[in-house]
A and B are shown apart, each in its own frame.
Chain A
Amino acid sequence: MWDDIKSVLTFAAFRPDADDPELAWLKRSEGRKSLLLNISRSQVSWRSFNRRGKLDQAGMHDGDLADVASQRGEEWRSLTEGGWCVVSLNNRFIISLENGLMRADNLNHLLRTNPRSVLGPKYDRGKRYALYHHTDTTASMLLACEDSMVKVTEDVLRGIGLKPGRICCGLFAMMEYSIRSIAESSRGQAPGSYLLIAACEGSIAALAQQDGQWRDLRCRSGLGAEGVETALQIVSPLVAKAPPGTPVFFVSDGQDASFRTTLMEQLERVGARDLTQEDLLWKVIGEH
């Protein structure tokens, strides 16, 4: 009761809830420190937002989340106010192309609460989902992440006093962001063709668009920094299938610069443009 009165008198009751998935993270964490975690198969990296909403401290630790959390829990807690954090899962997910999926204003809410109503027979109860629709066609990118992975992550973080305000897939978020960026930069032009390759801490996804239609999407999560060869094997068929002159875009983020450099060296041969921005992953999952 007293807490409720206090929250009303301090206007905290009117500020966006850190748990509200309908708002951008920066709005939810306005005026307080928050933590961004990127959890890969054998590595956890993090950045923090200071009270002014600027990226602040960074860190990386090799190992399983449970091991890293037990060692870094205190440090992570000190980087947050209220324990709220954003988690990017970079392992045990798959991105696929789907057609004719339901589109509604409350789609994201339905996906969280009743995914079967959106996905129909494609729904698997052991998965968590996210969707990104093509603006001009019925195609959609469907992200499916292991439900157990999400639950374990939530349990581990709860165990060290952190509260996940958002759990997402960094690679999928980077894909969404890049597709929107490309669409905005080519606004007013006829639907074109391109090949978008996104890499995030050893996970990779490649999307091919031809004449305004999404044709192919390949994805592999949890490759690790050493999986450059595998990544090239995933990308190469798409590059080979693309008509000559198709623009190739590349976005990447991660602690291991050699992965990006090696991959970009290969992609430069087909004229790829590097759209990578500094701290892209953190900005995409932490500001939007």
Chain B
Amino acid sequence: MSQFLCHDFKTPRTDTSRRLPGSMRLVPVMFYVVCLATGFFIFKDMRGMKEAEKQRLEAVKEKEEIAGELTKLDEEKLKIENELYRAQSVAKWMEGSRVMQPITVAIARTMPLETNITELSLERSPDLPSQISLLVRMINATVAEVPKIESAVNRLHYRTHSGQQAKQGDQVEYRSMLVWQDQ
């Protein structure tokens, strides 16, 4: 009885087109699948974008914090460098500032017995502590004493610069700049 189909004698329509084949159902199915997939990806991307924006803001904040810390560190570094520079200057000055007593002793020992040292002045340069301005005034001395003084000073690892000697009667004056020769 399933195959029974009631007859039909209505006027046939001429304005009808053929029904679409069943396989064409794939078209709307694919349309909805694509719509759903698009929606899914849009939703996913929106979430991803929001997450990325959040991460970007966090990164910017972190960057600002780090930049702040960096500035602080730079300031500290600058301070330390200043301190270091000062310390180095002090250390250099300290290093350069040799004890002057041996110079006086060495100079005194070079003098013959008849020669008197009337004035011995050792003046350290405040900026360059390794440089000492030497002034020796002697009575009953000859200019031959000057090389003795220079060799005595050389033995103490000083070099003489711009040595000047002057003789007025039996008074000899010797001026020189002593520079410490670092080993």
Contacts and interface: CB of A to CB of B under 8 A. Distances in A.
A23 B7 CA distance: 10
Contact of B19 (A16, A25, A284): A16
Contacts of B20: 8, 13-14
Contacts, number: 83
Nearest to A112: B12
A19 B9 CA distance: 12
A162 to B, nearest CB: 12
A151 B11 contact: yes
A44 to B, nearest CB: 17
B25 A177 contact: no
A1 interface: no
Interface in B1-36: 1, 4-13, 16, 19-20, 22, 24-25, 27-28, 31
Given A180-B1, A180-B4, A168 B9 contact: yes
A103 to B, nearest CB: 15
Contact of A112 (B4, B8, B19): B8
Interface string B22-61: 1011011001000000000000000000000000000000
B6 to A, nearest CB: 5
Q: How extensive is the interface on chain B, given as a class?
A: 20 to 34
Contacts of B4: 176-177, 180, 288
Interface string A254-281: 0000000000000000000000000000
A83 to B, nearest CB: 14
A20 to B, nearest CB: 8
B10 A164 contact: yes
Interface string B79-115: 0000000000000000000000000000000000000
B16 A168 contact: no
Contacts of B16: 17, 19
A128 B9 contact: yes
A69 interface: no
A151 B16 CA distance: 19
A184 B1 contact: yes
Given A181-B1, A184-B1, A150 B19 contact: no
Given A17-B16, A288-B5, A167 B10 contact: yes
A11 B25 contact: yes
Contacts of A172: 7
Contact of A145 (B1, B9, B31): B9
Contacts of B13: 19
A173 B7 contact: yes
A13 B19 contact: yes
A35 interface: no
A227 interface: no
B2 to A, nearest CB: 9
Interface string A153-193: 01000000000111111001100110011001000000000
A130 B22 CA distance: 30
28 contacts: A8-B24, A9-B31, A11-B28, A14-B19, A14-B20, A19-B16, A20-B19, A22-B5, A108-B5, A112-B8, A113-B12, A129-B9, A130-B7, A130-B8, A130-B9, A143-B7, A150-B9, A150-B10, A150-B11, A151-B11, A154-B10, A154-B11, A166-B8, A167-B9, A169-B7, A172-B7, A181-B1, A285-B6
Q: Pick the 5 closest A-B CB pairs, nearest first.
A: A130-B7, A128-B9, A167-B10, A21-B8, A166-B8
